[in-house]
Amino acid sequence: MFFRKVKETGMSYHFSKTVEGDFDEVIARVTEALKAEGFGVLTEIDVQATLKKKLDVDFRRYRILGACNPVLAHKALEAEDKIGTMLPCNVVVQDAGDGKVEVSAVDPVASMASVKNDKLGDVAGAVRGKLSAVIDAL
């Protein structure tokens, strides 16, 4: 399916892009884009199903993909043993209505800035570049 960029936004803690397409197809496309950048999806949280089951509330389609690049995760863990509290890198895929799906990825430079460890800078920058490339590829 053809995915056309609809809207792109950038905030201090994430990269986002809205595309047209089927929700499940966008998840597949995001998963492939992550794979191309050396990431695997370790976890997938279906927020819509969880909120329905636990709270009996209806919520839009919303998935959190826990993505990990093993090489960069290893470097980060060697530099800072508690950095696992910020792993894996989350990528959110959510229904934006009208046939549009928004994809957002955490900006690791912003999240790791709170960690006072200069060794993390290069790793965070490398992860930022790869996650930004994932969003750009959609």
Please say whether the beta carbons of 18 and 96 come within 8 A: yes
Distances (CA, A) of 20 to 2, 23, 57, 112: 8, 9, 26, 31
What domains can you pick out in the chain, each with its CATH number? 5-137 (3.30.310.70)
Q: Name the residue with tokens 């492939």.
A: 32
Q: Chunk the chain into consecutive blocks of 10 residues (it has 138) and report each block's average pLDDT, rounded to whole numbers.
A: 41 88 98 98 98 98 98 96 96 98 96 88 95 97
**Strand ranges across the sheet with 62-68:** 5-11, 14-20, 100-106, 89-97, 62-68, 40-46
| 69 three-class SS | coil
Q: What is the pLDDT of residue 130?
A: 98
